[in-house]
Amino acid sequence: MPAKPTQLVGQASAFLDAVERASAAAALNRPVLVVGERGTGKEMIAERLHRLSPRWEEPLVALNCAALPESLIDAELFGYEAGAFTGATRARGGKFEEADGGTLFLDEIGTLTAAGQERLLRVIEYGELVRLGSNRALSVDVRVVAATNEDLPALAARGRFRADLLDRLSFEVITLPPLRHRREDIPLLADFFGRRMASEVGWRGFPGFARAAMEALMAHDWPGNVRELRNVVERAVYRWGDPDRPVGRIEIDPFESPWRPRGPGGTQAAATDGGEPAFPVDFRTSVLAHERRLLDAAMERARHNQRKAAELLGLSYDQLRHALRRHGLLKGEGAAA
């Protein structure tokens, strides 16, 4: 987890409700379950729960349960004795012992093994754990904050997650709204990330975003949520390179290129080859990316003469201008009309 407190940015009512609920739950020594899509800020809510709690001076320890093989998750959480498994040459405490007195943040809790779920329930119920390869119970004082982007009640109904563990974890449930449902926060977040990146690259100030660039940010659905927005904004600022003019170009997909390898084996597939796409796909993002490629190609063929590009695409001049603006491609300087 971050060494310094992070800043929660937003004014949408759904977002503020979630932050307020986290603030109220922080003082209680009870488990909290944070639910949300990837990139919505679950880690920051966990940090807030810890920083505002009586445990704020004690450790805040994090573990992504999906980042380790099943065979290692239990050892990482609960520790092990020497000889517990091949390669365990000496005893080692786990994350629970490391977080003793503080808070343990378990991300992607839905991927925890059945054995791990049983052991976790015991720690929450009794404050005791047993290292792998040991019969001796150790006492720990740890507050558990868990996070998931899955429907845990549905998993429990199908027998893939312990219902009794879910009951204990869900003393309080904080559900974070995706960015597409808090669009009024996009300008605030973009400005926040833009200013931070401008400072990082040594700009004296941040000139903000051109109107077309902001419209492109507002038009995107952000399947990666705030994390995706941060990457897009920071990349746009550092690539812009001009601290005196508002940032006027937004590239949502950093992989987009006429020379991008496509298809099996890294071969470059033709855009009109008629082949079946590799499902699953993000439909809206794919359509926008294809639209962007057509616009780039037409403008290149027309040598950036917008009227000629409109003719190539079978669009009116106004329709082309609208499409260019939506993708952050409409820059007045040097563009032929």
334 inside domain? no
146 and 25 fall within a common domain: yes
124 inside domain? yes
219: containing domain: 183-263+285-326
Tokens of 24: 């109220």
pTM of the model: 0.75
Tens digit of each residue's pLDDT, the chain (337 residues): 544 446 899 999 999 999 999 999 999 999 999 999 999 999 999 999 999 999 999 999 999 998 888 778 888 898 888 887 877 778 889 999 999 999 999 999 999 988 889 989 999 999 999 888 888 899 999 999 999 999 999 999 999 999 999 999 999 999 999 999 999 999 999 999 999 999 999 999 999 999 999 999 999 999 999 999 999 999 999 999 899 999 999 999 888 877 777 655 555 444 444 455 656 666 777 788 888 888 888 888 888 888 888 888 988 888 888 888 888 887 643 333 3
Q: How many domains does the chain have?
A: 2
Of 177, 205, 232, the residue at which a domain comes to its end is: 177
107 and 225 fall within a common domain: no
* Segment holding 143, helix H or strand E: strand 143-148
290 inside domain? yes
CB 263 within 8 A of CB 269: yes
Tell me how far CA of residue 25 lies from CA of 43, 51, 171, 211, 246, in angstroms: 15, 12, 10, 40, 41
Tell me how far CA of residue 198 lies from CA of 7, 108, 155, 221, 250, in angstroms: 17, 33, 44, 25, 15
Of 136, 156, 177, the residue at which a domain comes to its end is: 177
CB 235 within 8 A of CB 246: no
How far is CA 335 from its chain centroid? 36
67 and 192 fall within a common domain: no
39 and 142 fall within a common domain: yes
